[in-house]
């Protein structure tokens, strides 16, 4: 085992003591797409003892260009990303524990997902989930590392609640969804993913081994195509920050949170069930058999009807493809899934 980590132990910043700390640590990776898979693989190889991997989606062929670890067979089987990543980690490092969780991270479960966690890595692709992570991490005083990449541009910042500026201190409002480019509208190249994920993982290793003095303490921005590298000082935590200054934690409030969301650029809408449910796929499949084509495995059920495709998860969360309209998706959900 020592041989596996020998080069990392030789490195002064980690050494024998740091390696032991990594082995005793739990990292939570929220979102296991491009950034998430790169983070998971690096953390697994580095020997972080426990990885909790959370993702709501399944593997598709369009992911393979940049989402390391996933293979063609994952896409053919359309495995949930958290499960596929967990399978690959087991082959990379069997000495660590992986906990794959297939859910949509939202106000109802984020605090539970944070239990026992030493550091959180942002692998998401949207600002509303990042505000949610920021609120929950500041509330529970857990360090987290923000990261985003689109096109050839990337950004990262490390948040230590009440010690550094938080995400809300720096970006008070969500950038307008229509104005901000996304991976689905502007594309993305893999090298920028690797750069952002590498910075996020390095910051996490510093946090987990207690080398806080080596953190970069900035909002880092990179453009690998235009050759621009910037590091902006975000300043100290703001007293008037709704999250770390005032402690409003708006994203954790069920009354202000929607149950339906358009998945940007995907011609799809996600619907969350009104209450916690555990679906019996066999029952549901026989109920739907007369209305269209149904297939299911232990992780998800897929139902095609007319121009629409419904992917249903065991907790009744559904991704409805073939529409960008919440009303259309809601009515399909009500008609076929119920509740
Ligand atoms: Zn703040």
- Residues 160-204: pLDDT tens digits? 999 999 999 999 887 654 456 666 667 899 999 999 999 999 999
At 22-68, the pLDDT tens digits run 999 999 999 999 999 999 999 999 999 999 999 989 999 999 999 99
> 165 alpha carbon to ligand 1 midpoint, in Å?
5
At 287-326, the pLDDT tens digits run 899 889 999 998 999 999 999 999 999 988 899 999 988 8
At 223-268, the pLDDT tens digits run 999 999 999 999 999 999 999 999 999 899 877 666 777 876 778 9
> 127 alpha carbon to ligand 1 midpoint, in Å?
15
For a pLDDT cut of 70, what percent of the chain falls above it?
Answer: 94
pLDDT at 176: 54
> 242 alpha carbon to ligand 1 midpoint, in Å?
7
What average pLDDT does range 95-103 have in this prediction?
96
> 237 alpha carbon to ligand 1 midpoint, in Å?
5
Q: Which of the two residues, 215 and 270, has the higher pLDDT score?
A: 215
> 278 alpha carbon to ligand 1 midpoint, in Å?
37
> 25 alpha carbon to ligand 1 midpoint, in Å?
26
- The CA dihedral of 244, 247, 251, 253, to the nearest 10 degrees, is 170
> 84 alpha carbon to ligand 1 midpoint, in Å?
35
> 235 alpha carbon to ligand 1 midpoint, in Å?
10
Q: pTM of the full predicted structure?
A: 0.84
| 100, β-bridge pairs | 53
Residue 119 pLDDT greater than 60, yes or no:
yes
* Alpha-carbon gap, residue 241 to 169, rounded angstroms: 5
For a pLDDT cut of 90, what percent of the chain falls above it?
Answer: 74
- Expressed in percent and rounded to 5, the helix, strand and coil fractions of the chain are 35, 20, 40
Q: Which of the two residues, 3 and 116, has the higher pLDDT score?
A: 116
> 289 alpha carbon to ligand 1 midpoint, in Å?
50
Residue 327 pLDDT greater than 90, yes or no:
no
Residue 331 pLDDT greater than 90, yes or no:
no
> 174 alpha carbon to ligand 1 midpoint, in Å?
14
> 236 alpha carbon to ligand 1 midpoint, in Å?
9
Residue 339 pLDDT greater than 60, yes or no:
no
What average pLDDT does range 126-136 have in this prediction?
92
> 198 alpha carbon to ligand 1 midpoint, in Å?
25
Alpha helices, DSSP H, located in the chain: 6-10, 15-23, 34-46, 72-77, 81-92, 110-113, 127-139, 167-170, 183-186, 190-208, 281-288, 326-336
Residue 122 pLDDT greater than 90, yes or no:
yes
pLDDT at 330: 85
């Amino acid at each position: 085992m020592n041989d596996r980590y020998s080069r990392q132990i030789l490195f002064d910043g980690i050494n024998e003591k740091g390696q032991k700390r990594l082995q005793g640590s739990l990292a939570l990776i929220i979102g296991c797409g491009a950034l998430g898979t790169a983070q998971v693989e690096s953390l697994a190889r580095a020997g972080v003892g426990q990885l909790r991997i959370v993702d709501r989606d399944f593997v598709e062929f369009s992911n393979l260009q940049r989402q390391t670890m996933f293979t063609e067979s994952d896409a053919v089987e359309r495995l949930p990303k958290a499960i596929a990543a967990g399978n690959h980690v087991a082959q990379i490092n069997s000495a660590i524990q992986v906990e794959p969780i297939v859910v949509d991270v939202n106000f109802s479960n984020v605090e539970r997902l944070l239990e026992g966690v030493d550091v959180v890595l942002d692998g998401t692709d949207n600002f509303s989930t990042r505000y949610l992570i920021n609120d929950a991490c500041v509330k529970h005083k857990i360090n987290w590392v923000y990261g985003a990449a689109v096109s050839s541009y990337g950004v990262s910042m490390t948040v230590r609640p009440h010690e550094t500026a938080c995400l809300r201190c720096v970006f008070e409002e969500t950038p307008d969804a229509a104005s901000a480019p996304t991976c689905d509208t502007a594309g993305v190249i893999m090298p920028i993913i690797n750069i952002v994920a590498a910075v996020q993982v390095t910051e996490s290793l510093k946090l987990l081994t207690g080398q806080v003095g080596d953190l970069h303490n900035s909002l880092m921005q990179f453009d690998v195509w235009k050759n621009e590298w910037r590091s902006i000082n975000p300043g100290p935590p703001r007293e008037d920050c709704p999250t770390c200054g005032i402690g409003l934690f708006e994203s954790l409030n069920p009354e202000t949170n929607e149950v339906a969301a358009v998945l940007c650029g995907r011609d799809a809408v996600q619907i969350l069930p009104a209450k916690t449910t555990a679906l019996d796929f066999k029952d549901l499949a026989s109920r739907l058999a007369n209305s269209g084509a149904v297939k299911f495995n232990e992780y998800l059920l897929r139902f095609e009807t007319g121009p629409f495709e419904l992917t249903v998860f065991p907790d009744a969360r559904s991704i409805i493809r073939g529409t960008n309209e919440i009303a259309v998706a809601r009515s399909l959900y009500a008609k076929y899934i119920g509740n």
